[in-house]
Each structure stands twice: as C-alpha cells, then as structure tokens.
C-alpha cells in the first residue's frame, strides 16, 4: 500500500515538474462559456409574466417591490435581483393553500430546500415561478437572506 502511494506521488511529481515547454506551440484551450445563472429559467413562460423587484442596501433595508400582488392562475412571477443581493424567494409552508406545496416545488427550479428558490447573486438575475395549476388563495413568502429585515411578500392567486 505504501509503495503504491509512493509510486503515485512520484508519477504526479514527474508529470508536474518535468517536460519543460512541450505544449508551447499547442493551441490554447477553448474558453469555457460562463455558466448560466442557476436560477435563470431556460424556457419562456407560457402565460403572462408579472415582475417583482428585489432591492436592498445589503445591510439594513431589503424589500420586494411590489410587496403584495394579485395574479390570475397560470401567471408567472419573475423575481429580479435589482440591488442588495443575494436574494431568493421562499414560501412559508403553513401560509399557502392546501395542495400548493407540490405545485410550487415543481415550478421552482434549482431549489435550495422545500419551497425555497435558488439564490440570485448578481444584479438583473431573475427567478421565474409559474403559478399554472396552483390553487387559488394567499401565498406568503420571504427572502431567506433578508427575512430578519422583514423582506416579505404576499401573492394572491384568484380568477
């Protein structure tokens, strides 16, 4: 076992240190495109889109704008990081209509946890949640990083 480990270390050392400039004339590796924001959706929303801005100064102020809205079933709510991120949208499990958790979880790409959307870390990043198939009623949510600052939202889904 020790001999095998020693052999691996010697081989790695020889590879890292030896050989000089063998690849000096080789073409540079192709640049890897920047990864898309994990929270950004890849397909266009099917229904109407309502935008909610997420703002703050990073320390003492944070808000959803608007902080209350009423939407029709099938609407997509687009949460946009404007300033003061990171931001996300999370929903209180005990403050959404019965049967809504499964619909929301299915509509929330790259979730952190149950009913918790991915973090938006750059200005203009956005996170879409489709309320297609969501039961009518009141959905109370918050920004996980800014919950203590009172960053809350109320979304009412009704026809």
Residues assigned a catalytic role: 87, 143, 146, 151
137-142 β-sheet, strand order: 68-71, 152-157, 137-142, 90-91
Cβ count near 76 (within 10 Å): 20
Query: Cβ distance 85 to 121 under 8 Å?
Result: yes
Strand (E) positions, 15-136? Answer: 49-56, 62-65, 68-71, 76-81, 90-91, 126-130
Give just the sign of the alpha carbon dihedral 140, 145, 148, 149: negative
Helix, strand or coil, per DSSP, at residue 93: helix
Q: What is the CA 29 to chain-centroid distance, rounded?
A: 30
Integer Rg of the chain from CA: 23
């Amino acid at each position: 076992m020790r001999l095998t480990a020693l052999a691996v270390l010697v081989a790695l050392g020889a590879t890292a240190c030896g050989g000089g400039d063998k690849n000096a004339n080789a073409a540079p590796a192709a640049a890897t495109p920047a990864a898309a924001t994990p929270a950004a959706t890849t397909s266009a929303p099917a229904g109407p889109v309502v935008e909610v801005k997420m703002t703050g100064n990073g320390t003492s102020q944070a808000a959803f704008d608007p902080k209350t809205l009423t939407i029709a079933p099938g609407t997509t709510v687009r949460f946009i990081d404007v300033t003061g991120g990171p931001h996300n949208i999370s929903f209180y499990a005990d403050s959404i209509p019965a049967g809504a958790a499964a619909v929301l979880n299915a509509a929330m790409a790259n979730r952190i946890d149950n009913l918790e959307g991915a973090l938006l870390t750059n200005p203009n990043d956005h996170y879409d949640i489709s309320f297609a198939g969501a039961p009518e009623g009141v959905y109370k949510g918050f920004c996980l990083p800014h919950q203590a600052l009172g960053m809350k939202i109320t979304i009412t889904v009704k026809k």
